[in-house]
Chains A and B, each alone.
Chain A
Amino acid sequence: MSEFNERLILPDIAGLHTIEVYEQHNGYQALRKALAMKPEEVTDEVKKSNLRGRGGACFPTGLKWTFMPKQSAKPKYLCANGDESEPGTFKDRQIFEQNPHLFIEGAVIAAYAMGIETVYVYIRGEYAKWVKMLQKAVDDAYAKNYIGKNVLGSPFSVNLYLYKGAGAYICGEESALMNSLEGNRGYPRVKPPFPAQNGLWGCPTTINNIETIANVPVILNRGWEWFSKIGAPKQPGTLLYGISGHVNKPGVYELPTGVLLSDLIHRYAGGVPGNKKIKAVIPGGSSTMWLRGEELDGVRMDADSLKAAGSSIGTAGVIVMDEDTDVLKVLARITHFYHHESCGQCTPCREGCGWMEKILNRFVAGDGTMADVDLLLDVANNVEGNTICALGDAAAWPIQSFIRKFRDEFEKRARTTPRSPSYIPPPHLVTTGA
């Protein structure tokens, strides 16, 4: 499995972001192939490939597409999710930058498969520069009739529009994304009804991550059988692993699913600066459960292996912390993030995240007691599973795992660090806003 070393999503081809170079490298051939197939055959191909969503929940993509009604009196929509705001995640941006046409081709194929005539691409507002890059690629694709009326002379017509967010992590959650696209505050919706029945403007809607969609042309070009044999069998293909924190060569690495976490850190990302030991790793973006440095042996980067290790693959955004890291402070910062980004609709999330942040800050300030740890866990357990969307869980998971695995950190802090009278809150405690 580790033999596979081809890059499918971000191949090393100069100028691939331009339509000319993309076409020279087999670009838009998958679309031609798809248009010659029946829509349900395209969906079937994706289903058999076993492609799983890259947006964090690992949901089987082909299956998701079959939830869309075949006949619908109302229009159907595809939303491509480029909100990319989970800390530690910076991969979709690479697709916009290096291979935007692969994504566009995938989106058009997906639309064809589900009988969709309008695709919206939701991109976080901070990515203004990347929105422009993608817009250029979209314009070029329109000019060549890969998007638009009667795509390549077929009866199929589709439009694709970019929508810029304005700074809100929660808009990456699919129902919040739809509310935002409708011009509202980004409040997640209660499910059911699910988007395939009742999505954008009450119409059938599918939401897929940018990287997920970029895999579609690859599957069409090379066939489901070939694709399904790459990497971990239950979650095949390559992943865009983002690795950050204390490594010598942080960045995005495209490798098969199921690589050894330790290989990712040492072989690809060049190990830890100063050859220091690893204290902790967050394997799949800031919401995933923490692993201790001693637990990394044999852990592979796929859904099953990480589940067995007590975490999850999430967005494959690996965050590495060396032995000198003040991990409590890191946890406090992450919790601040979830508190800041809570939309405020559900009490457990809105209040709970605030309480958890306060308790952690108390520890950072050297003012925590071991009773606070029990309180913290109690709050986290009561947030998890009791909210409209998974942001509450995302805030609780890091804390629950930290308490399980790093109780010693609390003990050290509670005993030995008295609160200094000249204590100055770290920057993230200062009220900001412009």
Chain B
Amino acid sequence: MFTKENLDKLEVLKKQYPTMKSLTLPALWMAQEQFGWISPDTMKYVGELLELPVSHIYGVVTFYTMFNTRPVGTHHLQVCTNVSCQLRGAERLAGHICDRLHIKMGETTPDKRYTVTEVECLGSCGTAPMMQVGDEYYENLTLDRVDALLSKELK
């Protein structure tokens, strides 16, 4: 199921850690990057690959918030509403995004383009409010800027 590239990467990683178990997070990251989310079948596959019980994989997947156990939209908008962002209008921003996309927090649009989730502090408090989409940080957000993003870069 993994691409050859990912399998090769795993081989390199095996030399960097004394146990296979340590590769649980790296392998899950690979899985999420390749498939977009981590399905029960993927968990089984990763377990087999690392020779670990699937219960261990499941335990890890569900502990960490960044692993998606459900498919997410093309653009996964992760809006920080923690304290520094809250003080700079994150609540309104989050509400605005949900209204614009006609979904509630945590939902995905019917066309599967957008998922909106509320996340904890992303280490970007000095450029609040902000959100993360994919690997990208969008900082110092205003409602106008979000509108522009949704109709252009993140269309």
Interface residues of A (CB under 8 A from B): 75, 84-90, 92-93, 124-129, 159, 161, 163-169, 180-186, 201, 242-246, 250-252, 282, 286, 317, 319, 321, 325, 329-330, 333-334, 337, 340-341, 343, 426-428, 430-434
B126→A251 contact, CB < 8 A: yes
Q: With A87-B121, A166-B28 given, is the CB distance from A434 to B72 under 8 Å?
A: yes
Could you say which residues of chain B place their CB within 8 Å of the CB of A252? 126
For B32, give the chain A residue with the smallest CB separation: A166
The A/B interface has a contact count, at CB < 8 Å, of 168
| Best-surrounded residue of A92, A252, A286, A432 (most CB of chain B within 10 A) | A432
Query: Whole-angstrom distance between the alpha carbons of A333 and B147 in the complex?
Result: 26
A126 contacts B122, CB within 8 Å? yes
B118-147 Cβ-contact flags toward A at 8 Å (1 or 0): 111111111110001001110000000000
Chain A to chain B contacts (Cβ below 8 Å), 29 pairs: A88-B125, A89-B123, A89-B125, A126-B66, A126-B119, A126-B123, A129-B135, A164-B29, A166-B25, A166-B28, A166-B29, A166-B64, A166-B67, A169-B120, A182-B19, A183-B19, A183-B20, A184-B60, A185-B60, A186-B64, A244-B125, A245-B83, A245-B87, A250-B127, A330-B83, A432-B117, A433-B65, A433-B106, A433-B117
Q: Quick one: closest B residue to A131, CB to CB? A: B135
Closest residue of chain B to A286 (Cβ to Cβ) is: B83
Specify which of B28, B86, B122 is in contact with A330 (CB 8 Å cutoff).
B86
Q: Which residues of B contact A243 (CB under 8 A)?
A: 126
Partner of B84, one of A184, A245, A434: A245
Partner of B86, one of A93, A164, A333, A430: A333
Which B residues have a C-beta under 8 Å from some C-beta of A?
Answer: 16, 18-26, 28-29, 59-60, 63-68, 70, 72, 76, 81-84, 86-88, 91, 94-95, 104-106, 108, 115, 117-128, 132, 135-137
Q: Nearest-CB distance from A400 to chain B (Å)?
A: 17
Report Cα–Cα, A432/B124, bound state, in Å: 21
Residue of B nearest to A92 (CB): B123
Of the candidates B64, B67, B117, the one having the most CB atoms from chain A within 10 angstroms of its own CB is B64
Which residues of A sit under 8 angstroms from B128, Cβ to Cβ? 244, 250
CA distance A204 to B83 in the complex (A): 37
Shortest distance between the CB of A199 and any CB in chain B (Å): 13
Cα distance A282–B21 in the bound complex, in angstroms: 39
Are A161 and B67 in touch, CB under 8 angstroms? no
| Interface majority SS (helix, strand, loop, mixed), chain B | mixed
**Chain A residues whose CB sits within 8 angstroms of the CB of B60 once the complex forms:** 183-185
Question: Provided the pairs A90-B125, A168-B64, A340-B120 are in contact, do residues A180 and B25 lie with their beta carbons within 8 angstroms?
Answer: yes
Extra contacts besides A245-B87, A426-B91 (13): CB < 8 Å:
A85-B121, A87-B121, A126-B66, A167-B119, A169-B120, A181-B22, A185-B60, A245-B84, A250-B84, A325-B87, A340-B120, A430-B104, A430-B105
A86-B64 CB under 8 A given contacts A201-B19, A321-B87, A427-B91: no
Q: Which residue of B lies closest to A325 (CB)?
A: B87
Q: From B64, which residue of chain A is reached at the shortest CB distance?
A: A166
In the bound complex, residues from chain A placing their C-beta under 8 Å from that of B117 are 432-434
Instruction: Evaluate whether A333 and B81 lie within 8 angstroms (CB atoms) in the complex, with A129-B135, A168-B63 already known.
Output: yes
Residues of A within 8 A of B94 (CB): 427
Question: With A166-B28, A321-B87 known to touch, is A87 a contact of B118 (CB < 8 Å)?
Answer: no
Interface centre among A86, A127, A159, A169, by most B CB within 10 Å? A127
**Contacting residues, chain A, for B26 (C-beta < 8 A):** 163-164
Query: B residues within 8 A CB of A426?
Result: 91
- The answer to whether B25 and A434 touch across the interface, beta carbons within 8 angstroms, is no
Closest 6 CB pairs of A and B: A167-B66, A166-B64, A183-B24, A167-B65, A183-B21, A244-B84
Q: Complex Cα distance A89/B122, Å?
A: 9
Q: How far is the CA of A275 from the CA of B34 in the complex (A)?
A: 50
CB neighbours (8 Å) of A317 from chain B are 125
Do B81 and A428 touch across chains, with their CB atoms under 8 A apart?
yes
Complex Cα distance A341/B119, Å? 11
